[in-house]
């Protein structure tokens, strides 16, 4: 713990010393000159435009993603789907297939419509 505290203290002191030295050694004229060179540099301006366009494209792509589904009632509808695999049963007659389909439908989960209607 003592080493960590010494490291943090040294890092803070080093940053402060570097900031003070930078502000004393570099004049305001040199800073303005560097800013003007950056502003006049065509390559840097082109990179800045590409960066701005790229971030705009990413923002548009993120905005086009669908929002999360809060209402899961559509997902519950999948419980009611009955899969008809009658194509696979070649040796079963149509009458047997019809009886099996009726049995499947009678055993299927029935909609609970009583919760939609108010009780009397």
pLDDT tens, residue by residue, 42-71: 888 898 899 999 888 888 888 887 766 566
CA distances from 78 to 39, 48, 73 (A): 60, 50, 9
Q: Which pTM was predicted?
A: 0.32
What DSSP designation does 116 have?
T
In angstroms, the CA 22 to CA 89 distance is: 85
Position 113 scores a pLDDT of 47
């Amino acid at each position: 713990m003592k080493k960590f505290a010494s490291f943090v203290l040294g890092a803070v002191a080093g940053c402060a010393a570097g900031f003070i030295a930078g502000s004393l050694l570099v004049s305001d004229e040199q800073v303005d000159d560097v800013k003007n060179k950056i502003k006049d540099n065509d390559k840097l301006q082109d990179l800045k435009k590409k960066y701005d366009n790229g971030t705009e494209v990413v923002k548009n792509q993120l905005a086009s993603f669908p929002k999360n589904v809060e209402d899961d009632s559509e997902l519950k509808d999948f419980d009611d789907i009955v899969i008809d695999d009658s194509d696979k049963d070649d040796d079963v007659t149509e009458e047997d297939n019809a009886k099996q389909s009726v049995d499947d439908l009678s055993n299927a989960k029935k909609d609970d419509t009583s919760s939609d209607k108010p009780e009397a």
